[in-house]
Amino acid sequence: MIAITTSNGKTHEKEAAVRRQGAVLITGASSGIGYATATRLARRGTIVFAGIRRQVDGETLLREGAGNIVPMLIDVADHTSLLRAHAKIESLREYRLEGLVNNAGTALAGPLELLPLAEIRKQFEVNFFGALATIQTFLPMLREHHGRIVNVSSVSGKLALPFLGAYASSKFALEAASDALRLELRPLGVSVSVVEPGAVRTAIWRHSSDKSLKILDDAPLERRADYDAAIRQSMRLAQRAELSGLTADRVARTIEHALFEKRPRARYLVGFDARVRVALARLPEPLRDWIISTALGTSGHPDPAPARHF
């Protein structure tokens, strides 16, 4: 309580209104889009709870964060990890959680025939279930302050390309959940937006390529041989797209808009190639398949199997 002196000289006591500073939680902030978003928001004066996987990444963020970044060890696939982060944020009473950016993600490439189901499940554990678990954990805080959720998806959540089926499937699932959440949470004052970048100059695919190639090396040669040429062409195209892709900061700027503009949109498509992919997705499937197969050099196909009568 504090004493307030009025214009007529009388005094009365009034409860001091202490305004807590708004904060945003970003998962996957160790590098790439998450790192760029954390440092960008910190420069504008926003308090950022930066989810990282290694302590050393937190030290880098602290140096770049102008005193506005609070690194936290978070593994979105580990519920205990999320609960520890929740308890930590809840204990910092000087801040109020107003935004959540679900950015943590992994990438896995390869033919669906050859990818072990265990590896595909790991992809979903981070890209889909991890995002949903993070939302469920922190939603009570966001509801309290009419906060915002930004899910970082991909244009792969609109169109699945060959050999990216596992990754695209996890992003399609995230897109569907985001649509449902947007309508479920709107009456509660919480907005949900999806950011859909095209190719981005980050290390996510470089980090996954060794693992993907190891998985393919372990596959039986007679099954792998049918895919080898197409896989190599796909990798060449992916590397070329990455080199000419968006900067991580360009995507971070879009995430910033989704968090702070007056009327956030449901979706933010980022990059020229993303728009091309969406346009391609709207074409009739035979034409679309021909264009993609031609680009990969797989347009030739064996004679169709004879009609079956079951």
Residues with active-site annotation: 167
CA distance 263 to 291: 37
Written as six digits, the tokens of 252 are 């971070």
C-alpha of 171 from chain center? 9
Q: Quote the distance between the C-alpha of residue 282 and its chain's center.
A: 24
> Which stretches within the chain are classed as H helix?
32-43, 55-64, 79-91, 117-124, 131-144, 165-185, 204-217, 221-224, 228-243, 248-260, 272-281, 285-296
Residue listed under structure tokens 């420069």: 43
Whether 195 and 151 have beta carbons less than 8 Å apart is answered as: yes
Give the number of other Cβ atoms within 10 Å of residue 264's Cβ: 16
DSSP 136-182: HHHHHHHHHTT-EEEEE--GGGT-PPTT-HHHHHHHHHHHHHHHHHH
Task: State the Cα–Cα distance between residues 71 and 204, nearest whole angstrom.
Answer: 21
Q: Distance between CA 93 and CA 145 in Å, rounded?
A: 14
Query: What is each CA distance from 253 to 36, 44, 154, 188, 241, in whole angstroms?
Result: 9, 12, 16, 26, 20
Parallel, antiparallel, or unpaired for β 2-5 and 11-14? Answer: antiparallel
Distance CA 234, CA 162 (A): 8
Six-digit token string for 22: 């708004």
